[in-house]
């Protein structure tokens, strides 16, 4: 049972061939270099780059899996597509003009090769990412529902009660900036480049006093599981403006203290969610969980609470990719959850339900 999955919700053009939880082929074309100078995703550039790359990425994903070189692209594609059972695509949330490119391609293939199509919520993909396996079926993690599922990325910060396959309840999310977005914006203010998360991680690892400046931890006094990172960003900005010496002299301490404020907020809210629900098993997905220090903080937290935590087993599964979309799609297929009308639309603010 093979699924060809396509993901274009933000700045990665991605396609993968998956079989249940196994990834047989995975192609990601990142647009990071394109967006670097803007310090964030520039929509019209993203759309054009997706359009330019989507055919190549899909071709490559199916050719890689089938080990057939696309010498005569049309003929090879038709032969390879015969082996594919279903198509899957990210419907949202994400950038409208970017989502449209992936949907258009998947609909075109569904029509041409008469395949059923599965629409996947991008967040669902991140939630399933710790369970994605390599082509050999590793790691062999079992599902032990219920989980607290966290998605921590450039676009999202969500705590979700994951009750069972495809059964979610959002417990808390950000009211404004996402955690990764906050890191990216702080890095930009420090002149560090994009994406900021990995640069901040490196600088923070070089300092002893990790919380030198102790910036505010937003919304930790409330008992709600909501996040808000835009106030933290503003106070960081004013702090930089009012510094008597050049921020460059304290670049490591500033990076680390900002990271501490974001991460401690994430950890405090997660602990609150554990207390509220009594669930001490966590799964964490999204670009920010590439951060080793944040992984350690989560490990410490679950140890304290006699729980466990699962992260994406391979780095490429932290950021956006189509493999996690294909794996989530498998569980939707099991429930007969297919797109009924191929004229369906992207949903930029699609919510988990």
Q: Is 320 annotated as a binding residue?
A: yes
5, 13 in Cβ contact below 8 A? no
Work out how close the CB of 223 gets to ligand KG4 at its nearest, in angstroms, rounded to a whole number.
27
Both structure tokens of 137: 């079926």
Instruction: Please say which residue, 11 or 253, places its beta carbon nearer to ligand KG4.
Output: 11
From CA 353, how far away is CA 340, in angstroms rounded?
18
The three-state secondary structure class of 137 is: coil
Q: Is 201 annotated as a binding residue?
A: yes
Q: What is the DSSP letter of 248?
A: G
336, with CB counted inside 10 A (0-12, 13-18, 19+), is exposed
Instruction: Please say which residue, 130 or 180, places its beta carbon nearer to ligand KG4.
Output: 180
Contacts of 128 (CB under 8 A, 6+ apart): 285, 324, 327, 328, 331
The interface partner of residue 133, options being ligand KG4, Zn ion, none and the CB cut-off 5 to 8 Å by kind, is none
From CA 254, how far away is CA 232, in angstroms rounded?
13
The interface partner of residue 7, options being Zn ion, ligand KG4, none and the CB cut-off 5 to 8 Å by kind, is none
The interface partner of residue 171, options being ligand KG4, Zn ion, none and the CB cut-off 5 to 8 Å by kind, is none
Work out how close the CB of 285 gets to ligand KG4 at its nearest, in angstroms, rounded to a whole number.
8
Q: Is 28 annotated as a binding residue?
A: no
Instruction: Please say which residue, 8 or 153, places its beta carbon nearer to Zn ion.
Output: 153
- Window contacting Zn ion (CB under 5 A); options: 152-160, 194-202, 234-242, 337-345: 152-160
Pick from 153, 257, 259, 280 the residue near Zn ion by CB under 5 A: 153
Q: Is 341 annotated as a binding residue?
A: no
x/- string (CB under 5 A) for Zn ion, residues 303-342?
-----------------x----------------------
Contacts of 167 (CB under 8 A, 6+ apart): none
Beta bridge partners of 120: 90
Both structure tokens of 338: 């297919």
The interface partner of residue 257, options being ligand KG4, Zn ion, none and the CB cut-off 5 to 8 Å by kind, is none
Beta bridge partners of 13: 29
Q: Is 35 annotated as a binding residue?
A: no
Q: Is 211 annotated as a binding residue?
A: no
Residues in contact with Zn ion by CB under 5 A are 153, 320
């Amino acid at each position: 049972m093979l699924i060809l999955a396509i993901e274009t919700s933000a700045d990665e053009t991605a396609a993968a061939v998956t079989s249940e939880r196994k990834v047989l082929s995975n192609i990601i074309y990142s647009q990071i270099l394109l967006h670097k100078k803007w310090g964030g995703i520039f929509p019209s550039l993203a759309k054009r780059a997706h359009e330019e790359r989507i055919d190549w990425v899909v071709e490559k994903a199916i050719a890689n899996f089938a080990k057939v070189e696309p010498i005569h692209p049309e003929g090879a594609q038709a032969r390879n597509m015969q082996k594919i059972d279903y198509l899957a695509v990210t419907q949202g949330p994400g950038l409208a003009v970017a989502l449209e490119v992936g949907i258009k391609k998947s609909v075109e293939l569904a029509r041409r090769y008469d395949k059923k199509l599965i629409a996947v919520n991008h967040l669902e993909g991140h939630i399933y990412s710790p369970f994605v396996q390599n082509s050999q079926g590793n790691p062999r993690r079992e599902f032990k529902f219920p989980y607290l599922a966290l998605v921590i990325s450039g676009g999202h910060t969500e705590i979700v009660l994951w009750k069972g396959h495809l059964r979610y309840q959002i417990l808390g999310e950000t009211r404004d900036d996402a955690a990764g977005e906050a890191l990216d914006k702080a890095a930009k203010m420090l002149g560090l480049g994009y994406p900021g998360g990995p640069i901040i991680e490196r600088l923070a690892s070089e300092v002893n006093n990790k919380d030198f400046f102790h910036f505010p931890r937003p919304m930790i006094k409330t008992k709600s599981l909501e996040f808000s990172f835009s106030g933290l960003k503003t106070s960081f900005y004013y702090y930089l403006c009012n510094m008597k010496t050049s921020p460059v002299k304290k670049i490591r301490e500033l990076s680390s203290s900002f990271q501490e404020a974001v991460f401690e907020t994430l950890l405090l809210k997660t602990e609150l969610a554990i207390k509220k629900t009594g669930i001490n098993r966590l799964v964490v997905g999204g670009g920010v969980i590439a951060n080793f220090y944040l992984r350690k903080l989560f490990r410490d937290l679950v140890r304290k609470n006699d729980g466990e935590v699962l992260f994406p087993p391979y780095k490429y599964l932290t950021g956006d990719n189509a493999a996690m979309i294909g794996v989530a799609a498998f569980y939707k297929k099991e429930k007969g959850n297919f797109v009924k009308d191929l004229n369906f639309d992207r949903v930029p603010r699609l919510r988990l339900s």
